[in-house]
Amino acid sequence: LDASLTQSSKMAALGKLAAGVAHEVNNPLAIIMEKAGWMRDLLSEEDIKGSPNFKEYEDAVQKIEFHVRRAKDVTHRLLGFARRMDPLRDDINVNILLDQTKSFLENEASFRNIEIMTDYDRGLPCITSDASQLQQVFLNILDNAIDAIDKDGVITVTTRHDKEAGAVVIAIADTGKGMPKEVAEKIFDPFFTTKKVGEGTGLGLTISYSIIEKLGGKIVLHSVEGKGTTFTITLPVS
């Protein structure tokens, strides 16, 4: 209970931070965009068109606009996360959703000689949940599993109906590098990543955690350094 309380307050803090940053960054971006528009207007004037540096001016304005759009995309995503909508209520067959998610990653996996095996409970009851949010969680975890293996290994996806708990249990196990305790303790923290700049944002599992929590479920992990990691998600059957 303690751990999940801490995680909830971290999520709330991240939501506030994200909204604050997005707001603070959006204002200067709007001004930069407006000035770029003004420069673009200047470039359409005849005497500038004849300038020997015209191409460079035009290129500079284009780059400013392109990168401002990129930055706006980031702030947009942060705001989307901060105000994440209430989950939808779809009727989901988890086995089918997992198969779909798996098919997105099949190319990348086979390229790295990673086999994604499945062991499904065919009698799994449907659950009422948000399919696209749940799929995002599966994608994040499978993506991380592929990264943890890097080359040559197996990912096993298992589903099971826990009748006593009234829950569907999904386990995603990889034969990757695993993680030490110090890393395992931090993986749900916002912006925590061990990946290179540009390869990881450290938001994947933070967002996954908050999605599963909103869906009324639980997510836990078990990891052994040098052996692999298993993520287990429990979702209530309504």
Site for ligand ADP contains 204 (CB under 6 A):
yes
Scan residues 136-155 and list those touching ligand ADP (CB under 6 A): 140, 144-145, 148
For position 179 contacting ligand ADP by CB under 6 A, the verdict is yes
Q: Cβ 204 to ligand ADP, closest distance in Å?
A: 3
For 51, the token pair is: 């300038």
Asked whether position 202 contacts ligand ADP by CB under 6 A, the answer is yes
* Contact call for residue 120 and ligand ADP (CB under 6 A): no
Which contiguous run of DSSP H or E holds residue 130? none
Q: What ranges in 44-157 are assigned the alpha helix state H? A: 46-49, 54-82, 94-111, 131-149
The CA–CA distances, whole Å, from 41 to 5, 32, 56, 234 equal: 53, 14, 15, 57
| Residue 139 · residue 133 · CB < 8 Å | no
> Contact at 8 Å (CB) between 134 and 95?
no
Q: Is 162 left (phi over 0), alpha (psi -120 to 50) or beta?
A: beta
At residue 234's C-alpha, the angle toward residues 231 and 238, to 5°, is: 160
Interacting span for ligand ADP (CB under 6 A) from 14-22, 107-115, 120-128, 185-193 = 185-193
- The alpha carbon of residue 189 and the mean position of all alpha carbons in its chain are separated, in whole angstroms, by 13
Minimum distance, C-beta of residue 205 to ligand ADP, in the bound complex (Å): 3
Which stretch, 53-61, 85-93, 104-112, 193-201, contacts ligand ADP (CB under 6 A)? Answer: 193-201
Cα–Cα–Cα angle for 178, 184, 189, rounded to 5 degrees: 135
Stretch binding ligand ADP (CB under 6 A), from 40-48, 69-77, 124-132, 197-205: 197-205
> Which residues is 177 bridged to in the sheet?
none
Q: Is residue 194 part of the contact set for ligand ADP (CB under 6 A)?
A: yes
Q: Does 195 bind ligand ADP (CB under 6 A)?
A: yes
Instruction: Please give the residue whose beta carbon sits closest to ligand ADP in the complex.
Output: 204
Q: Is 205 in the site for ligand ADP (CB under 6 A)?
A: yes
Q: How far is the CB of 153 from ligand ADP (least distance, A)?
A: 11
Contact with ligand ADP (CB under 6 A): which of 174, 210, 219, 235?
A: 174
Number of residues counted as binding ligand ADP (CB under 6 A): 22
Rounded Cα distance, 32 and 53, in Å: 22
| 161 neighbors 125 (Cβ within 8 angstroms) | yes
CB of 191 to ligand ADP, least distance (A): 8
192 sits near ligand ADP (criterion: CB under 6 A): yes
Shortest reach from residue 198's CB to ligand ADP, in Å: 10
Would you tell me which residues interact with ligand ADP (CB under 6 A)? 140, 144-145, 148, 174, 176-179, 183, 187, 192-195, 200-202, 204-206, 229
